[in-house]
Structure 1
Amino acid sequence: MKILILEDEIPAYQKLVNYLNDTFEEEFVHDLARSNSEGKKLLTQNKYDFILSDIQLLDGISFDLFDEVTIKCPIIFCSAHDEYLFKAFNTNGIAYILKPFSKSDFKKAIEKYQALFNKGSYNKLNTNTISNLKSALKEENTSYKKRFVIKKAKGIQLLNVTNVSLIEASGDFCIATDNIGKRHTISQSLGSIFQQLNPNKFFKINRSQIISIDFIENIENHFKNRLLISYTGGKEKAMTSSSTTSDFRKWLEK
């Protein structure tokens, strides 16, 4: 068995080799490339059973390498990138281990991909897939709000934006409802908050409410060209204004 490891960080590379030794009883050989240029040279001169690849290498992202060289073996990506890339990988059926990963995570990814490869049902990287992954990476690298600092009586708590289902104005403050129904006070105006959020994830449905697309459960028609929205964690339904309904429908289909 021959394996290519694309990893620019030596500690991460050593961890992968240790996990490979623990996972495979049979002997294997491996090559290491810390850059796209080194990887391209190795891929044009050798055939591999599979590739373990980080996304960020010394001279750029590995997606650029896979855009240049046709890969005919499985690729398991090992990276610290999450959210958008994680969903993109899942959507395209590509194995992905999120750093920091455990030996168990590593073994499961290897076993799953071996099974898919043996059946011939794994998804090869093609131009469209690589383009989708690059777009997801670009979106993830855009600087949007990641978390809110919430001041409570017992101290300061952090509220991850990915857990927020609805934000609504309340005087000079805002109330954020999370996916388990808890409400949190944010000391910012609704307009200020909206400017910090990813517009692909959050939509201002009326003058006083912002909703997350990840927690919309049901949408139903209402009078005067309005829509009633049920969302995770919410006891009452939210409602679009007549002026935002059209744009909201378009936003849902992005």
Structure 2
Amino acid sequence: MKILIIEDEQHAAESLEELILELRPQVIILASLSSVEDSIDWLSSHPSPDLIFSDIQLSDGNSFEIFREIDPGCPVIFTTAFNEYALEAFKVNSIDYLLKPIKKREVGKAIKKFEDLYQHQVVEELNNLKKLLANTEATSTQTLKKSRFLAKSGQTLVSIPSKDVAYFQAEDGVVFLYDFKGKRYIVNQTLEELTEDTDSNSFFRVNRQYLVHIDSVKEAHSYFKGRLKLELNPAGHDDIIISSNKSNLFKKWLDQ
């Protein structure tokens, strides 16, 4: 934790620093500043600290002038001999307000309050970041995968939703799209291109000839040498064999 102290009384600044380091030896005190002007200059030219302890009445004015001039980018714990500034203090990123003479116990409670708030904020921000990344990935995936396929039936062009595709079959250099009603269409894409264009959670390239939708899989039977024999609905026009190399991947895909 990196802390900045703003205090115009040297003895008070040194005393506060000692209390902080007794309570949290791992803390780094970045600087101890004594004026509004110095504080604005420092905050303008350095990365934000994690926390600021600030007196209110300084040698050249009121510390609120600092925070009206520049956003510190971190919480502030105010220290003062006067209680009439409490309301204004809480308008300027303040998380606590300590009256002088400052006691070790009060400083400890104030730091603990900051740590509790900060840790909660970090966890919340991490969770928000994870959600954002998940949403971004999902959106990116959706934009890359096609939701419809342009197909041809005779002289007619039709647009078929991805969810209505039972499987694609390559035959003699032509790729056919079969819907769940068993109707066949021609598509002007290779199976390799279609594999890239389809959602891998819904479609699986079982062999060189077939790219199948998970809802079209009727049954899978053990076959010779660790292979699988697949039955589709609607039925395919030849034996659909999955190699031993792909059979485990296919089983995991079915079990997702």
Bin of the TM-score, shorter chain as denominator length:
0.3 to 0.5
Bigger relative contact order, structure 1 or 2 (CA pairs below 8 A, ≥6 apart): 1
Q: Give me the TM-score of the superposition, normalised by structure 2.
A: 0.43
Q: Give me the TM-score of the superposition, normalised by structure 1.
A: 0.44
